[in-house]
Structure formats: C-alpha cells, structure tokens
C-alpha cells in the first residue's frame, strides 16, 4: 500500500473518491425525486382500499372512512361479536365476517340478522321450527 497523505492509503483514497463520484452522479437523480414548488406541505396520498378487506387489528381503528379504487366511500366497521374490522359500504356492524362464507343451515348467533349467501341469496338468522334441533338459530333462506 502506498501512503498518499492525510493518513490514508491508496485504497482508502480510491474508495472515498469512488463514493464521492457516485454521490455526485446519483445526487441529481435523488434530488429530482423530492418535490419542488411553493414550499407548502403536499396533501398526504390517500391509499385506496377494497370492500371486505380488514381495516384494523385493534379495538380502535386509526382510519374509519376511506375510498375504493372506483371512488366509493367505505367505512371501517366491526364484525359483531368479534374484534375484527372490515371495509364496508354501509356504516353498520356486520353479522358475519365476509371472509368466511355462510350457507342456509349454518349456525348463527343473532336472531333476525340478515346476510347474503355465496349464491347471492338473502338469508336471515332464525330459530328452526321442528326436528330435534328445534329452536336453534340457523341461517335460513328468506321466503
């Protein structure tokens, strides 16, 4: 190794010069990534969400209203009897987590609650009328 001054070796000087050159070359690219203009803070970009996506993993969601990609307003609503929150177009608690399909005959918990099954049919939570399980709450087709 050859000493070149300021206590540096040739390899250290070459590395330092290479980093400085790289910084100058990339500096203009990095600088162009920053906004220029009036100096006012730009409005934060709002992320779009999808209907049915989870919006919180806590009891108190940070954001309660958002937009879908097509501009529809959606709300972060709680799934009843759980701590799950999902984005939904109606600002009301949901009887079912939309990630888990329910069908007629499946058990339910809230008498009178309504939902849509996998085939798009309206169903409601009601007591069975007969059989050995009479009185149990199950999802039933609406007549």
Give all strands (DSSP E) within the chain, no chain letters: 3-5, 8-9, 48-49, 54-56, 65-68, 73-78, 85-88, 114-116, 122-127, 137-141
Q: Does residue 14 lie within any of the structural domains?
A: no
Share the mean pLDDT of the chain. Answer: 77
Q: Does residue 71 lie within any of the structural domains?
A: no
Nearest CA to 87 out of 117, 136, 53 is that of: 53
pLDDT above 60 (res 109): yes
- Residue 116: domain span: 101-143
Q: Does residue 84 lie within any of the structural domains?
A: no
Q: Does residue 106 lie within any of the structural domains?
A: yes
Q: Does residue 64 lie within any of the structural domains?
A: no
Q: How many domains does the chain have?
A: 1
Report residue 62's pLDDT band, with 50, 70 and 90 as the boundaries. confident
Q: Does residue 136 lie within any of the structural domains?
A: yes
Could you report the per-residue pLDDT of 63-99, keeping only the tens digit for each?
A: 789 999 999 999 999 999 998 999 999 999 999 999 9
pTM above 0.85, yes or no: no
């Amino acid at each position: 190794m050859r000493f070149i001054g300021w206590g540096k070796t040739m390899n250290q000087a070459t590395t330092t010069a290479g980093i400085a050159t790289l910084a100058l070359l990339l500096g203009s690219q990095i600088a162009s990534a920053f906004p220029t203009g009036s100096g006012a803070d730009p409005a934060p970009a709002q992320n779009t969400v999808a209907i049915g996506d989870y919006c919180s993993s806590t009891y108190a969601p940070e954001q309660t209203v958002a937009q879908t990609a097509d501009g529809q307003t959606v709300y972060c609503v709680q799934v009843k009897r759980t701590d799950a929150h999902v984005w939904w177009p109606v600002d009301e608690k949901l009887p079912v987590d939309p990630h888990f399909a329910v069908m007629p005959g499946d058990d339910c918990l809230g008498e009178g609650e309504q939902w849509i099954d996998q085939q798009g049919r309206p169903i409601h939570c009601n007591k069975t009328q007969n059989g050995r399980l009479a009185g149990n709450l199950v999802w039933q087709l609406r007549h």
